[in-house]
Structure formats: structure tokens, C-alpha cells
Amino acid sequence: MRVLGIETSCDETGIAVYDDEAGLLSHTLYSQVKLHADYGGVVPELASRDHVRKIVPLIQKALDDANCKEEDIDGIAYTQGPGLVGALLVGASVGRSLAYAWDVPAIGVHHMEGHLLAPMLEETAPEFPFVALLVSGGHSMLVQVDGIGRYTLLGESIDDAAGEAFDKTAKLLGLDYPGGPLLAKLAEQGEPGHYAFPRPMTDRPGLDFSFSGLKTFAANTIRDADDNPQTRANIAYAFQEAVIDTLSIKCKRALKQTGLKRLVIAGGVSANTELRSAMKKLMQDIRGEVFYPSLGFCTDNGAMIAYAGLQRLKAGQSTPLSDSVKPRWPLDTLSAL
């Protein structure tokens, strides 16, 4: 089976073609970072309009790169949610229209299921069951994964997601949008021991996250600090260290609670080098394994949607063309394969 994947949940237009025997045949991605940079964040209306402009040329490019014609496509997977409603509608409308025109089934994919399964695109893929840490600009959650669609939510952020806290703190430090990667780069110049940031919600039981207080602590620290480059780097270092320590502590708890020794890290924040190092050490200490998507598949992309959609299409599932998008869509409500 060969599937065309379409991702338009936020500010990146991702298109890919995935074959269940040959693997990933092509993937194209257009990022709207420059479009939104002047506003310091994603402007939903502008995002939707840019998806409209870019989606058809990108689909044609993905098909050309895969050496495919429309008759070679057996199904279409598109992101149905969660995400920005206008952006989701662009991908869903185009995907369902092509499915109708080409007389193939369409499947609406959960965006976070796409991230969760992104490590399956790698040569060394994790086996079920495992614990997944999904960390991005919009989500921070721990999930026990016993199979596709067999998800148990262990913990989630009760306010800001980790990626959102990175971006907001970066803005307070005067960094451009998107700030998360720039804050991580600035932290490389920082020195330990200058600031002691809290590790929120680690002094109590449970696996939920909270990063809004950490962001406030960073804001107060920045306000009271000297305005020089080394001080800013030291604050960035302390903030990043606090986030990574918090995530590590919660992952260790989740693994102990479930008795599992496999950990998957996915989502945009999973590209953070220091986070990867910390999780590698954690899993070495407990003699476990950790898996990530390659850097190109950490952020939103069509390949993960094509892969996730293919698994459900092969199982006989499809989404009626009349179904609407789902800006809010709990992961643990998905059907199991």
C-alpha cells in the first residue's frame, strides 16, 4: 500500500509518500517561520492562508520525487487534529478532495499519534510496549503505548507545554522566534552554578507537568539580572537544565510505575541535544533503551502522518469525507488496531 500524507496542523506544510514495502519514498516540508517571526508567534489566519498557497505545489513535488502518479496512490492520510482549526481545514479539505477524485480511502490522523510513531520511520524502531514522552510547543505528555491506538495517558502539562515555556522564556531573553532552539544554543555558552531554578511538581507524587511557574521564575530572574551576554547565557543554561531535569525525573517515575525499559522521545523538543543526552544517561542507568525520530522528523512533517495513516488504512479503517476536523482531540480516545 502507498499513502500520501498531509500535515497542516500549525505553521508547517508537510507532504510525504510512504510505501509499506519500500518505506519513505519522498517528503517535502515548508516552514512558515519567517512569516510569523515579526509577530513573535503563530498568527492562525496567516498560517491558514499560507497552507492554501503551498499545499498543492508541495503535493505535486512529493509525487514527482517519489516517481508516482495519482493512480499509484492507494490512500490519503491527513492531520485531522489537534491543531489550529483553519490550518487543519486546509489539509483536510485538500486530502478529502483528492481521495474523492482519485477514488481512494482517506484517513484522518491524530497529530500526536503521528509524533508518537515517528521513531518507527527509523532503521532501528522500538517494539511495543514502551513509555512515550511527547514534548512540543503545544503538548507535554507521558503515555504508555501497548500498541497502535492502545494508549494510556500517564501525565500531561496542566498549563504551558515544555516547548511553549522554551519559546516564551527565549522571548524574555530577547531572542527571535522560534526561540526554543535559540535558547538551547545560548545555553551552550552558559555556566552552571549561577542560578538555582525550581523543578516544578517533582516534590510531589504524580506524572503531570507544570511549566508556567518556571517561566515566571525565569521572567523575575531576567528582570533582576544584569543585562550582559554572559548573564543571559547563564540564565538560559539554568532554565534549560531545570526543564530537562524535570522531564527526566518524570520519565524515571513513569518507567518505574509501568515496569517498562523502553522510552520514546518525540515532538519538537526531542531535537534538543541536552535532553537527548540526559535521556540516554537515564536509560543507561536502568539498562533500558531510548528511541528518537531523526532530527528532520522531530518537528511537524508529512512522513509521520503518512506512516500513521497507513497503519490504520491497512487495518481497514477510514474516515468519512463528511467528518470535521478536531482542534481538540484526546489521544486516549483513539481506537486500537
**DSSP-derived secondary structure for 24-58:** EEEEEEEE-HHHHHTTTS--HHHHHHHHHHHHHHH
Q: Which CATH class is domain 126-291?
A: alpha beta
Half-sphere exposure of 286 (CA within 13 A, CB side): 20
Judge whether 1-115+296-331 and 126-291 match in fold: yes
Q: Among candidates 93, 87, 100, which has minimal Cα distance to 44? A: 87
CA atoms 88, 90, 91, 96: torsion sign: positive
Q: How much is the pLDDT for 170?
A: 96
Amino acid making up residue 103: D
Q: What beta strand segments (E) does 2-149 contain?
A: 2-7, 12-19, 23-31, 75-81, 106-110, 130-135, 140-147
For residue 264, the surrounding DSSP H or E stretch is: strand 262-266
Residue 5 contacts residue 77 (beta carbons within 8 Å) = yes
Cell, residue 20: 509499506
Distances in Å between the Cα of 235 and the Cα atoms of 186, 209, 272 are: 9, 21, 17
Instruction: Report d(CA 126, CA 115) in Å as an integer.
Output: 14
Cell, residue 49: 492562508
What pTM was estimated for this model as a whole?
0.96
Residue 107 contacts residue 318 (beta carbons within 8 Å) = yes
Q: Where are the domains of the chain?
A: 1-115+296-331, 126-291
Strand pairing category for 262-266 and 130-135: parallel
Residues contributing to the annotated binding site: 111, 115, 134-138, 167, 180, 272, 300
Q: How much is the pLDDT for 40?
A: 87
Residues contributing to the annotated binding site for Fe cation: 111, 115, 300
Residues contributing to the annotated binding site for substrate: 134-138, 167, 180, 272
Tell whether domain 1-115+296-331 is in CATH 3.40.50.150: no
pLDDT along the chain (337 residues), means of 10: 98 98 98 93 96 98 97 98 98 98 98 97 96 93 98 96 94 93 97 96 95 96 95 98 98 98 96 97 97 95 98 98 95 95
Instruction: Report d(CA 308, CA 218) in Å as an integer.
Output: 38
